[in-house]
Amino acid sequence: MEKESSPMLIVLSGPSGVGKDAVLSRMKEHDRPYYYTVTATTRIQRENETDGKDYIFISENEFRNMIGEDELLEWAEVYGNLYGVPKNQVIEALERGYDVIVKTDVQGASTIKQLMPEAVLIFLSVSSVDELKERLRGRMTESEESLNTRLNTSESEMEEADWFDHVVLNETGKLDETVFKIEEVISIERKVKSRNILDDRGDLID
């Protein structure tokens, strides 16, 4: 059946440590018809990560070439590393009719909203800054200096939630509930867009 609305670009963002990767991993297990973009980065690959699946790991020269060729939807330097969303992934998936989900930091979400105002921005949050700090410390993937930088940045990013379209609380131990709330947001947005299309058709008929 053909969708009543155009495919959507959904941006999932929030501070470091809030659980974006875990949420997306669980969403993929639900086997919904979304296209998940893979971010390119110059960050060193961690032991539990797969190149091309978790991230596209490239050199800084390769990344700079992508910037020069305008191949990135958005990019930013975060904690001394470069991150960016390849533009071709998004365009090709939307053209094939898929709802596209992009994971990015708060800065990247702002850039995408400026380029594509129709994008749906979801801010993943936690109940308190203290909880966020505990999650970051619990990951034990950073040096002490890097951890302190992330802690300070994440605390300021928590204050950016107000300009997002939706805020979803990712409570500890309630991953499935978080996924349900995100999919509920997507369903609501799809209905709104479908209704707008019908309204536009009505205006044409009138």
Helices (H), the chain: 20-29, 60-68, 87-95, 106-115, 129-139, 144-157, 175-205
Q: How far is CA 143 from CA 15, 123, 136, 196, in A?
A: 18, 27, 11, 49
Write the pLDDT tens digit of every residue in 164-182: 999 999 998 999 999 999 9
Query: Can you state the percent helix, strand and coil of the chain, rounding each to 5?
Result: 50, 20, 30
Q: Report pTM.
A: 0.83
pLDDT single digits (tens) 72-108: 999 988 878 999 999 999 999 999 999 999 999 898 9
d(CA 171, CA 176): 10
